[in-house]
A and B are shown apart, each in its own frame.
Chain A
Amino acid sequence: MKNFTVKKLLLPISEYATVSLGTTLFDAILALEQAQEKFYHGKYQHLAILVLDDEKKVVGRISQHRILKAIEAGEELSKDLSKLKMFNFSDAYIENIRETLRLDTKVFTQQALKKAAGKKVEEFMQKPTPDEYVAESSPLDIAVHKLVSGNHLSLLVKRDEEIIGVLRIADVFVAACHGMKALNIGEK
């Protein structure tokens, strides 16, 4: 187990759901469904989509959480509210209004869902931060530290400067479980 590297567990980018910049949220969901249908490694399905630029480089990632945030109009309202800070309103006041607006906004209406479906992925994708990358040659320990400390669901795996795959938290979790079971802790 301690000799495991990221390379052992990564999923190649070719097996992942990918979309290009400019894709709508609805088409991104369809791409995820297609990728899930084709995927047959293990019992954990794909839960995220990678966004590629014209040069096929990964420029963003869309998780289920991001998709739900895009559907919830409260996210847009929050953007408008952020300007209140410039006008000396307190953080407590801004947060209070943000929550009130969120609770007052209906999500499952035809109008809201239709509007969300047409959003472009670049409007709601998460741009990778430096702590989300891991080298394919890194020990799995490093990957676990990064997943836990950054609260990430996956890491982007690099070979030199190129992103070649994704390391999912589910696969690392399975590896950790297998490692524990191999110790035969329950046996007397």
Chain B
Amino acid sequence: MEKLIGQTSVPIQGYAMYEIEKIFNRIIQRVNINLRDLAFDVSPFVRDHINLEKMSEFYAFYGITTDIPLNLKFIHSGLAGSYFLGNCRISNSLLYKSDIRGDELKRKGDTFQYKHFSIDLAKDELIDIETSALIKTLVHNYSHDPETPERFFIKDTLALDYSNIHGAPSDGCFLGSFATIDLTTMSDCVIGQYSYIQAGEINHLNVEPGTIWVNSPGQFNFLYQYPIERLKQYIHCSPEKGPTGLLIDFIEARKDAFNTIFDAVNLEDTIKVPENASLDRYAVVLPSTTISENVLVAQRAYLENSYLGRGANAQEHCFIINSRLEGGNVTAHGAKIIEADLDEAVFVGFNSFLFGKPAHRLTIGKGCVIMPHTIIDSEEALSIPQDTLVWGLVTNQQELQENSISLENLKKIETHTNQGNMFFEGSGSTFVQAFKDRIQHILEVNGAFFHEHNV
């Protein structure tokens, strides 16, 4: 169990506010300098949207465990409401209600395998955030860049609400709301809102909102782009209003539940949790929820009236409401599952929004893979057959047909295919195997097979 120490909250006045504004302006300038080739100005997206006064309203937290190195350095920075774990250094930055989770960082003596290179680590890996502003952002995993195996850097970067920087060193970038950059080193890039990028390394790209891109060069390449006008009802970023849309409304409607658990020092147990399950102290669990053995519920997860079967996990910022997950399920960072029934071993990717309705629930069969950043906003009862890959925007049966493929058929693809707005080139079987391997890895590290491995 993690113990926490807090940064004292003090009102920002006079000189302190002057310094914070100075840091903020410097961050904007540095990001803009990096993005000058793309002619992208971040100012309109942040100037009126980020309220610097709030930087004094919340404590910051640092988690202490017996098995993760204890090291937090913060210099000339604001950390309001943010949570840190492990080896972290923050300088000249503003972090607001962000999670900097160093629990998966590499350790001194580890060997990091990158293609045919076996890279020995001379020291513990560090999350190094410099001249960056992260708003409600999750930073997790470890640097997958073989050139910086001991330093997971985030430099001259600005990330907006509910974005994920997952194993992705970043230099000179802007991430819109709900954007995810996963296992990818990026420099001088704009990642539009609700885009998901996993591409190894990217430079000087301006990625449109709602772009889902999974590229493993030489193996496979998957691309889907949301119809931009339809995406706006779910998430839209405008200079006038900041991030708006159903996703923001959905989270805002439930934020009081989090304020309650973050404000209280001692919380009463609201639910019985098996000994070999893990429920984070900063997760919201509302009646009537059942947590089975080997379940992991991370901080800032929200569970309400749901069943989590054996080995299921609910990662940071995910919401599971009025739903049933039979077991061995992965609900990745920021995923939302409402009024849905998921059979065993269903993977729901980052920031997906599975929005079933009481009158017509969503049913997902065993072994399905819901791609990151998928929106299923059902207007009718939808039932997804087992072992199906689903992506993009689905509101009815016709769109489900267009935006899905059975894993069996996908495995047969050897060169390319395209379906609606989805483009795929490469080996389908390699793509499926890569997902399955990653899902298995996530379940293993989250303790889903705890009993089997320890008898």
Contacts and interface: CB of A to CB of B under 8 A. Distances in A.
Interface of A: 84, 86-90, 93, 96-97
B91 interface: no
B205 A88 contact: no
B423 interface: yes
Interface stretch (B55-63, B213-221, B304-312): B213-221
18 contacts: A84-B223, A84-B423, A86-B205, A87-B215, A88-B199, A88-B215, A88-B217, A88-B221, A89-B221, A89-B423, A89-B425, A90-B425, A93-B416, A93-B423, A93-B425, A96-B416, A97-B418, A97-B423
Interface in B423-440: 423, 425
A96 B417 CA distance: 10
> What secondary structure prevails in chain A residues at the interface with B?
helix
Given A89-B425, A93-B425, 17 more contacts: A84-B223, A84-B423, A86-B205, A87-B215, A87-B221, A88-B199, A88-B215, A88-B217, A88-B221, A89-B221, A89-B223, A89-B423, A90-B425, A93-B423, A96-B416, A97-B418, A97-B423
Contacts of A87: 213, 215, 221, 223
Residue of A87, A89, A97 with highest tally of chain B CB at under 10 A: A87
Contacts, number: 22
Interface in B410-455: 416, 418, 423, 425
A175 B213 CA distance: 57
Contacts of B215: 87-88
Contacts of B221: 87-89
A90 B199 CA distance: 15
A65 to B, nearest CB: 28
A188 B215 CA distance: 72
Nearest to B225: A83
Interface string B124-140: 00000000000000000
7 interchain residue pairs of minimum CB distance:
A93-B425, A87-B223, A93-B416, A88-B215, A89-B425, A87-B213, A97-B418
A39 B199 CA distance: 59
A37 B195 CA distance: 56
B433 to A, nearest CB: 20
Contacts of B217: 88
Contacts of B425: 89-90, 93
A87 B425 CA distance: 11
A26 B418 CA distance: 34
A157 B381 CA distance: 67
A96 B423 CA distance: 12
A89 B213 CA distance: 11
A186 to B, nearest CB: 57
Nearest to A100: B418
A34 to B, nearest CB: 40
Interface in B340-396: none
Contacts of B416: 93, 96
Contacts of B418: 97
Nearest to B222: A87
A93 B426 CA distance: 10
A96 B424 CA distance: 12
B421 to A, nearest CB: 10
Contacts of A97: 418, 423
Nearest to B416: A93
Contacts of A88: 199, 215, 217, 221
Contacts of A89: 221, 223, 423, 425
A98 to B, nearest CB: 11
A142 B238 CA distance: 55
Interface in B172-219: 199, 205, 213, 215, 217
A93 B416 CA distance: 7
A84 B421 CA distance: 11
A16 B339 CA distance: 68
A99 to B, nearest CB: 12
B228 to A, nearest CB: 12
A102 to B, nearest CB: 14
A93 B205 CA distance: 21
B135 to A, nearest CB: 27
A88 to B, nearest CB: 5
Contacts of A90: 425
A96 B425 CA distance: 11
A44 B368 CA distance: 65
Residue of A84, A89, A90, A97 with highest tally of chain B CB at under 10 A: A89
A69 to B, nearest CB: 23
Contacts of A86: 205
A96 B205 CA distance: 25
Contacts of B223: 84, 87, 89
A93 B418 CA distance: 10
Nearest to B200: A88
Nearest to B415: A93
A164 B244 CA distance: 56
A49 B294 CA distance: 74
A145 B443 CA distance: 69
Nearest to A86: B205
Contacts of A96: 416
A79 B213 CA distance: 19
A158 B448 CA distance: 78
Residue of B213, B215, B418 with highest tally of chain A CB at under 10 A: B418
A89 B208 CA distance: 17
A88 B423 CA distance: 11
B165 to A, nearest CB: 20
A17 B223 CA distance: 45
Contacts of A93: 416, 423, 425
